[in-house]
Amino acid sequence: MRINKFISETGYCSRREADKLVESGRVTINGQTAVLGSQAVQGDQVLIDGKALVTGSQVVYIALNKPVGITSTTEAHIQGNIVDFIGHQERIFPIGRLDKDSEGLILLTNDGDIVNRILRAEGKHEKEYVVTVDRPITASFLTGMSSGVKILGGKTLPCEITRISEREFRIVLTEGKNRQIRRMCSAFGYEVRSLRRIRIMNIHLGALKTGQWRELSAQEKQELGAMLSYELQ
């Protein structure tokens, strides 16, 4: 199989990240420097930065209720990175991002293939949030938000939004632009006070407490796999 897929299936990183490792000359196969498109099979000696790539790791899928202040990155030099926060025995990485100053549901895995499939599905799968703003919500705000907002040189896709209370609303997005909800609210003169993600596709935050994580259930993995036409182990 292609070297990027071979690496991602060990849980080391995603295919995209594996391509970067290959392009920078950090990967060898049986002593030869790998290039994009190189093939590898079980039994080959694959090294990254001179260290053997460990195969056969347990595949894990985790749901975390991320606290405010934790950064959705695998970069070890960043204080408060999400990997150190969880401290899992497997080498895991987040699927997508959740801003440092936001909280709630984020998924992590060591399955590079599922990461690629979910990221490629951006614009198709739902993510649900509960948001508190700094002043009373108006009907015009709800209408404007749901119709699409001009930010970052483009217009956001139409979305579902409902008012929960005077200053709190629920919103369902099918895209993930940088700090999208905060930018959308700012376009109408609102400032976000708190933002919590409560659902990603079929995975719900539920009663999971802030800072806690859990393995996805067999049913959740089956449903997620069906959505992505991908069979999860």
Residues carrying an active site annotation: 99
For 121, counting Cβ atoms within 10 Å of its Cβ (0-12 exposed, 13-18 middle, 19+ buried), the class is middle
**Closest by alpha carbon to 53, among 79, 37, 30, 84?**
30
**Closest by alpha carbon to 103, among 11, 212, 4?**
212
Instruction: Quote the CA–CA distance of 167 and 137 in Å, as a whole number.
Output: 6
Instruction: Quote the CA–CA distance of 223 and 112 in Å, as a whole number.
Output: 18
Q: Which residue has the tokens 């139409």?
A: 158
SS (H, E, C) 88-140: CCCCCEECCCCCCCCEEEEEEECCHHHHHHHHHCCCCCCEEEEEEECCCCCHH
